Amino acid sequence: MKLLMRAFAKLLSGLLLMGALLFGPAGTWHFPGAWWLLALLFVPMPVVGAVLYRRAPELLRKRLNSREQEPEQRAVILLSSLIFITGFVLAGLDFRFGWTRLPAPVVALGMVLFCTGYGLYVEVLRENAHLSRTVEVQEGQKVIDTGLYGIVRHPMYLAVTVLFLSMPLVLGSAAALLPFLFVPAVLVKRIRNEEQVLEAGLPGYRAYEKKVKYRMVPFLW
């Protein structure tokens, strides 16, 4: 029950925070892009959480823990939060003052990309029971080299990149896209530090790096 309440509190706080960052600067509740994004993000979330609660409660507990031990990762979390806040505030202001308006086909593309990223995210959760939100080597953790992990070493970060870059498209704001363009650079910094931790503490990870060449984007990096 405690785990369930933590998950609900996390969902509710995230919903309220995003709503405040979007509707506050917009100065109105009539912000269709914001409603679309909130629906796409938070409607499936309780379903995913319920499945994890029933089938993998320990994984759900790990996903709720965001206390980083690595100093470098704490800096990455701070940068990510700044991007998140800046992008949503800009989207709200953009809607309020009409600086930019993305055409409907681009908004629709953003929705498709967002759903694709969400699908990748759920698949990675299914494949990796040790998928903590923090950078660490867990007891009993083993290298996974099948499924998406057989294509890139960090498929979760690929999913996050797709999700973040599609958000301003769903919101219909070109201005909001600017800060989100820094997301890949921040994730590169996180991945480099994470791989140092895994190389030092996870048996077989160096061999896995030789087997799977690309870190996050197939045929690119």
* Cα–Cα distance measured from residue 194 to residue 156, given in angstroms and rounded to the nearest whole number: 13
* Cα–Cα distance measured from residue 199 to residue 195, given in angstroms and rounded to the nearest whole number: 6
- pLDDT of 32 reads 95
- pLDDT of 173 reads 95
- pLDDT of 67 reads 63
The CATH class of 2-211 is mainly alpha
Domain borders along the chain are: 2-211
- Please state the pTM of the whole predicted model: 0.86
What are the start-end ranges of the E strands in 60-186?
none
Residue-wise pLDDT tens digits, 112-151: 999 999 999 888 888 876 666 555 666 667 888 888 899 9
- pLDDT of 215 reads 92
- pLDDT of 72 reads 67
> Low-confidence residues of the chain, pLDDT below 50?
none
